[in-house]
Chain A
Amino acid sequence: MSTATTTAMAYQDRRGILGTLGRDGLLQIILIANTIIMLAPIVIMVFSAFKTTPQIFASPFGIPDFTQVGNFVKIWTQTNFLRYLLNSFVVTGASMVLILTLGTMAAYAIGRYAFTGSNFILMFFLAGLTLPLKLAIIPLFMLMRDLSILNNQLSLIFVYTAMGLPTTVFIMTGFIRTLPNELEDAARMDGASEARIMWSIMLPLVRPAMVIAGIQNVVPIWNDFFFPLVFIQNDDLKTLPQGLTTFMGEYTTDWGVLFSGLTLSAAPIILIYIVLSRQFIAGMTSGAVK
């Protein structure tokens, strides 16, 4: 037995150096290539934001003069950009608050309380994952019309909340089920009410999962173009992706201004992403229970 293990280890050692180098090297190459492919459009977008339209066409990949901020000044002062940005913040923020509050509460109930039909409710939420919401656009449009919230940000918030709940409930239920039951029992012995247990004990512990669910939802909602296009006509209520299209004229487009608008609209989401990634702290629960 022990000689067999020794031989196996020696064999692995010999194979080790070349094999590991080859495999890791290949992985590195793939990852670097992937990074370049992913970053290139963003870099080009940022570069183009500092160029005038003729410069963009003359040297699309050239490094611009970063002191030339005319496009940003123009978008800030001469367009409705600030309004769109604010609208996007309102819609995305409200949707996220609703998604995370409702999703966490639903997931807590499904994951923690044993009641008949809990599995059915989970399945019901999961069914939402398979539903292509865009196919329902005509009934949705009629629904919003009948609720008289067409041309109103509420319509977007409702649709986004419905869109975000399935993934949130799915992620959070799985996570909440992994948390030790004894923590809750301990809090109950300490005299905490159910709401208190959720707020003071469970919520801090599920934060990593909330971050994952949040990122999962915030990006598509922020970038969504389709639903505002259908539901919102009033220029003062438009969100960023929809608003930016107004910069594209039928005959001429000021590409420099458009790119600077895109850069500005992508910036908050990239920032949120970077800040929140630090929250993926593994082992938040380590130490609670051995």
Chain B
Amino acid sequence: MAQLSLRGIKKRFRETEVLHGIDLEIGDREFVVFVGPSGCGKSTLLRLIAGLDPITDGEFVLNGSRMNDVAPSRRGIAMVFQSYALYPHMDVYENMAFGARLMGLDKAEVEQRIADAARMLRLGELLKRRPRELSGGQRQRVAIGRALVRKPDVFLLDEPLSNLDAALRSEVRLEIARLHREIGGTMIYVTHDQVEAMTLADKIVVMNNGRIEQVGSPRELYETPANTFVASFIGSPRMTLVDVTRDGDRLGVANGGAVAVGAVPDAKALKLGLRPDAVHLTRGAAEGFAAQVVYTEYLGDNAYVYARLADGTLLSARTTPNDLFAPDETVTVTVAPGAAHFFSAEDGRRLSP
């Protein structure tokens, strides 16, 4: 069982406040991903939960008891570090046994737990090796194994894939998803890669500048982003955001044409958010935004076209590989009805039509 509540968590380093009041509930067996750009405070928040840094203000409650002043090792939390932080002078077995022994477990229990972890992570042959004799992926598995043997309620993973090459990354990603299913603990995972967030998470927490921008399932974040930050952060290629003015039910770009998108919120000026699959490019259509193709990305099963609108915004659009556009070609952009997102021009919040 693990039920985490963060209530008004603030963190100050000397004079600079890096977290401005975080409120978050995390349920048992949930896989939660903190995602955001570098410096948004996601790793700091993780370290506060781990107990490695003191909480300046607010409350962290785990399973009903306040954890603010509890030592890291007594919180029932284990952490996998970005750099793995394996003890270089100990072999794999010792690395995993170190924490287990400090928990006061007897020898047989320690051995049993390590054997279980080694089986689950396929570390059997590596137990007598030193970290420097392991590959990146193997070190990663040892780091996870070290967390496993402590049988924590909550696993914290700090950008665990960032040191792996691309091919290994998707493999280990699957591995982590499988582990979560098998051991069923609560996992909190920090990354700046929205693909990792989308594929792994039950619940994504999007952070920016020390604040939570939105909490929700991957589908919620993709389909109903709360503001322009979340909208442009989630999804690849990113959502195009363009300033438009409303004229009846048509939206116009500054000296660049206008388009009908279905129901529109009641505001004079707004930001229009367009996912690559929401727009359609044609040559010489009568109505739509005028745009000039900048370049085309051919990906085999589909292609992305990047085109510049009249006001200078770079728009991304998905097209079929059969219909490639040449650079500098002039195209007309139309929008699928109901596929557009609307945001306030002032504060970037989501508006519903």
Contacts and interface: CB of A to CB of B under 8 A. Distances in A.
Contacts, number: 85
Interface in A196-212: 196, 200-201, 204-205
A205 B87 CA distance: 9
Contacts of B150: 190
A119 to B, nearest CB: 16
Contacts of A117: none
Contacts of B229: none
A189 B79 contact: yes
Contacts of A250: none
Contacts of B132: 283, 286-288
B306 to A, nearest CB: 28
B85 interface: yes
A200 B87 CA distance: 10
Interface in B62-105: 71-74, 77-79, 81-89, 98-99, 102-103
B134 interface: yes
Given A189-B99, A190-B99, A287 B85 contact: no
Interface string A201-238: 10011000000000000000000000000000000000
A289 interface: yes
Which of B99, B146, B163 is packed against the most chain A CB atoms within 10 Å?
A: B99
Interface string B40-68: 00000001001010000000000000000
Taking residues whose C-beta sits less than 8 angstroms from the other chain, chain A's interface range is 20 to 34
Contacts of B21: none
Given A190-B73, A190-B150, A289 B102 contact: no
A205 B102 CA distance: 20
A128 to B, nearest CB: 31
Contact of B52 (A185, A190, A285): A185
Nearest to A183: B85
Interface residues of B, number: 33
A284 B52 contact: no
A287 B136 contact: no
Contact of A190 (B83, B98, B130): B98
B52 A287 contact: no
Interface in B316-348: none
A188 interface: yes
Contact of A192 (B74, B77, B102, B139): B102
Interface string A273-290: 000000000011111111
Contact of B83 (A180, A188, A205, A286): A180
A192 B71 CA distance: 10
Given A182-B82, A287-B131, A189 B72 contact: yes
B153 to A, nearest CB: 14
Contact of A183 (B77, B87, B146): B87
Given A189-B73, A191-B103, A200-B98, A288 B131 contact: yes
A186 interface: yes
Interface of B: 47, 50, 52, 71-74, 77-79, 81-89, 98-99, 102-103, 130-134, 136, 139, 146, 150, 163
29 contacts: A182-B83, A183-B85, A185-B47, A185-B81, A185-B85, A186-B81, A189-B52, A190-B98, A190-B146, A191-B74, A191-B102, A191-B103, A196-B102, A200-B98, A283-B132, A284-B88, A286-B88, A286-B132, A287-B134, A288-B83, A288-B85, A288-B86, A288-B88, A288-B131, A289-B85, A290-B83, A290-B84, A290-B139, A290-B163
